[in-house]
Amino acid sequence: MSRRSSVASSHREIPRQEQCTSSYPLRIRRTKHCETWQKAGQVDNAFLLAGLMMGFSIAAPVGPIGVLCIRRTLSEGRRAGLLTGLGAATADAVYGCIAGFGLVFISRVLVSQRMWLRFFGGLFLCYLGIKTFLAKPAEQATSIERNDLISAYVSTFFLTLTNPMTIVSFLGIFAGLGLASGGDWVSATALVLGVFLGSALWWFILSGAVSLFRTRFNPRWMRWVNRISGMIIVGFGILVLLSLGL
């Protein structure tokens, strides 16, 4: 019985040895795949971090969108100010996608029509400035309707789209990071997502900081805020039109 059991056990051990021997190259391949994925994850995280810093730095300088964000936060609340900034951040992300994913045809069409786009953008800025200048401050805080929030988002989204030269800036950024060919979609997506999140972070901070002073502004002060903001926005619009040689 002992002899039979030893023979049987030896037969059972052979498949285990073959299994271990055959699984050894498989473990090596799995290890190599894991290392490759880890390196790819590190690269994507680097692009995401770079996008965060670029998006924050691009959004931080106060321009017409910043003035609109501050004014709407003071007059309509933090949500209106935040959505004003997110509209611009979304437009930047759209242009980043066009540049990063190699959509050459779309970028060429937009850049070739930049004069008309900037012309309508300048007119729209003048319209927003005059509307802001003439706006009457509310005597007491009122709830903001959903349509007003959507309008705050859409207005700055299309206003930012009227500057197609943003694509050229993104093309330079992507070229500097080795993504000009548009082949590495994963890294390009990480970079564009980082730009959007970095820009959104700035608008979140700005609208939150300005909202802390909202209760200190009475209707008289808000009237002056509207007038000063309106004149600044109209000034930006006039500068855009003058830059076109009109």
- pLDDT band for position 219 (cuts 50, 70, 90): confident
Residue 109 contacts residue 167 (beta carbons within 8 Å): no
pLDDT value of position 14? 44
73-126 per-position pLDDT tens digit: 988 889 999 999 999 999 888 888 877 776 656 667 766 777 888 888 889 889
Structural domain contains residue 17: no
Structural domain contains residue 204: yes
Q: Indicate the number of domains in the chain.
A: 1
Most confident of 100-104, 133-137, 202-206: 202-206
Structural domain contains residue 73: yes
Structural domain contains residue 16: no
| Cα–Cα distance for residue pair 176/169, rounded to 1 Å | 11
Please, what is the average pLDDT of the chain? 75
Domain that holds residue 202: 37-243
| Cα–Cα distance for residue pair 62/78, rounded to 1 Å | 17
Residue 78 contacts residue 141 (beta carbons within 8 Å): no
Mean pLDDT of 169-173: 70
Structural domain contains residue 137: yes
Structural domain contains residue 4: no
pLDDT value of position 206? 92
- pLDDT band for position 236 (cuts 50, 70, 90): confident
Structural domain contains residue 69: yes
Structural domain contains residue 25: no
Most confident of 65-74, 112-121, 144-153, 161-170: 65-74
19-46 per-position pLDDT tens digit: 444 444 544 444 444 444 444 445 568 8
The helix/strand count (H/E) of the chain reads as 9, 0
